[in-house]
């Protein structure tokens, strides 16, 4: 029987955080748009007592970073390539799946800038078709969230679970008698979010293996479980305990986007390696950190909305009976701890297998790219301080 992969508790002391391993982990990409890339090491965070103000980023003139937030550096930011992805996404959304009913929705799609997100997060993609596969899935996931979970698009608490089950069937087909399969296909055809997810999945399956497609379906089912957990708290206007919130966030997070990093990179991490507990820990830590990053950058905008909202800073503020500013700083510390735990786990795994090293680099690239995308959307979709 094969020995299990090492975890963080039984790793050699010199492996954890080893400069050689971390350099290998954070090595640069070789995909399209990387010719002029120059890597810089991630800076250590400022003191946790610093105020959550924003500072300039070397990646983009419009980028603003949260002071003290520790993250791997983004390794590619190619505006021309991002614009090409966005143009192709608009063409797909308009002509293939009729995703939005009017120009306002079209402008919202462009303003969301999914092209820059996938360019930043998947710097090892071998060509634009692989980037487009990630971008379509990203847009489809957001469409499901908007249409079935947001009241302004018609989502409702009493039908959320049923709607998400149907949404899962858009990527995990129903198998019934011919009559009812025909009814199901007609139902999927009738809704823009369902059409989008089905089309996005078809494009993804064209370049992914069966195991990678199955992995994605599994992670999306977990995401929808997280949507329901969040929806219940919002419907009840209940602020969960911090530990419960973090459990919810491990489902309601960016995991589906991170775990396709090998497929979008043009290779496969075998299913038996992906399923190893140590690999799952690295996936969970990187996914959780990326989502807490979202909590931090979106806090001000969420607070300015009229709806009930909760995030890591708000649940910490409620549990600790402290100011939102203090809770914001505590949330930065949680994020930073998650990133460092991921880096330690990733370094250990990278030393065991070249393919695992490549996959861990992909996860690290996603964490860094996600941070840069959020920082670059300050003033549009997100804001940086409470």
Residue 112 vs residue 102, higher pLDDT: 112
Q: In this structure, are residues 284 and 222 in contact, taking their beta carbons and an 8 Å threshold?
A: no
Task: Return the pLDDT at 156.
Answer: 65
With a cut of 50, say whether residue 1 has pLDDT above it: no
With a cut of 90, say whether residue 385 has pLDDT above it: no
With a cut of 90, say whether residue 88 has pLDDT above it: yes
Dist. CA 52–CA 11, nearest whole Å: 35
Over residues 92-103, mean pLDDT: 85
Q: Per mean pLDDT, which range of 7-21, 55-69, 133-147 is the poorest?
A: 7-21
Lookup result for tokens 């306002």? 104
Most confident of 188-192, 234-238, 374-378, 380-384: 188-192
Nearest residue to 34 via CA among 125, 134, 131: 125
With a cut of 80, say whether residue 57 has pLDDT above it: no
Per DSSP, helices labelled H in 170-309 are 178-189, 192-205, 210-236, 242-251, 255-258, 261-265, 271-274, 277-304
pLDDT in tens, 266-275: 999 999 999 9
Task: Return the pLDDT at 30.
Answer: 39
Q: pTM value?
A: 0.82
Nearest residue to 370 via CA among 22, 32, 59: 59
Average pLDDT for the chain: 83
Task: Return the pLDDT at 82.
Answer: 96
Task: Return the pLDDT at 313.
Answer: 96
What band does 351 get if pLDDT is binned at 50, 70 and 90?
very high
3-state secondary structure of 27: coil
Q: Per mean pLDDT, which range of 113-127, 158-172, 195-209 is the poorest?
A: 158-172
What is the residue-wise DSSP string for 141-165? HHHHHHHHH-GGGT--GGGHHHHHH
Q: Which residues are CB-neighbours of 107 under 8 A, at least 6 positions away?
A: none
With a cut of 60, say whether residue 33 has pLDDT above it: no
Over residues 296-322, mean pLDDT: 89
Q: Which residues are CB-neighbours of 71 under 8 A, at least 6 positions away?
A: 42, 289, 293, 339, 367, 368, 371
pLDDT in tens, 182-219: 999 999 999 999 999 999 999 999 999 999 999 999 99
With a cut of 70, say whether residue 22 has pLDDT above it: no
What is the residue-wise DSSP string for 340-359? HHHHHHHHHHHTT-HHHHHH
Task: Return the pLDDT at 73.
Answer: 94
Helices and strands, number each (H, E), in the chain:
17, 2
Task: Return the pLDDT at 102.
Answer: 67
CA 39 to the chain's CA centroid: 22
Task: Return the pLDDT at 34.
Answer: 37
Task: Return the pLDDT at 107.
Answer: 76
Dist. CA 263–CA 212, nearest whole Å: 7
């Amino acid at each position: 029987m094969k020995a299990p992969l090492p975890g963080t508790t039984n790793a050699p002391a010199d492996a954890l955080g080893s400069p050689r391993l971390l350099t290998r982990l954070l090595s640069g990409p070789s995909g399209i748009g990387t010719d002029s890339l120059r890597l810089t090491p991630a800076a250590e965070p400022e003191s946790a007592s610093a105020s959550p103000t924003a500072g300039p980023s070397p990646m983009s003139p419009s980028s603003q970073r949260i002071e003290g937030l520790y993250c791997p550096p983004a390794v590619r930011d190619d505006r021309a390539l991002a614009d090409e992805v966005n143009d192709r996404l608009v063409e797909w959304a308009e002509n293939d799946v009729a995703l939005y009913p009017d120009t306002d929705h079209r402008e919202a799609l462009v303003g969301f800038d999914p092209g820059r997100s996938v360019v930043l997060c998947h710097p090892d993609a071998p060509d634009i078709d692989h980037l487009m596969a990630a971008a379509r899935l990203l847009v489809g996931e957001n469409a499901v969230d908007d249409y079935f979970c947001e009241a302004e698009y018609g989502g409702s608490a009493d039908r959320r679970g049923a709607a998400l089950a149907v949404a899962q069937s858009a990527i995990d087909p129903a198998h019934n008698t011919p009559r009812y399969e025909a009814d199901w296909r007609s139902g999927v055809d009738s809704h823009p979010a369902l059409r989008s997810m089905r089309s996005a999945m078809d494009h993804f399956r064209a370049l992914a293996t069966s195991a990678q497609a199955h992995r994605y379906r599994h992670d999306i089912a977990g995401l929808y479980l997280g949507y329901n957990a969040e929806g219940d708290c919002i419907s009840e206007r209940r602020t969960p305990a911090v530990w419960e919130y973090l459990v919810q966030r491990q489902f309601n997070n960016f995991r589906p986007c991170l775990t396709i990093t090998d497929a979008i990179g043009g290779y496969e991490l075998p299913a038996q390696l992906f399923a190893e507990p140590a690999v799952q820990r690295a996936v969970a830590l990187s996914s959780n950190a990326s989502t807490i990053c979202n909590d931090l950058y979106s806090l001000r905008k969420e607070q300015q909305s009229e709806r009930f909202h909760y995030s890591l800073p708000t649940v910490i503020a409620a549990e600790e009976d402290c100011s939102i500013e203090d809770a914001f700083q505590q949330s930065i510390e949680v994020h930073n701890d998650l990133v460092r735990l991921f880096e330690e786990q990733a370094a250990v795994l990278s030393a065991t297998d070249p393919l695992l090293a490549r996959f861990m680099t992909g996860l690290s690239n996603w964490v860094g790219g996600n941070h840069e995308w959020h920082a670059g959307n300050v003033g549009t979709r997100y804001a940086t301080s409470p």
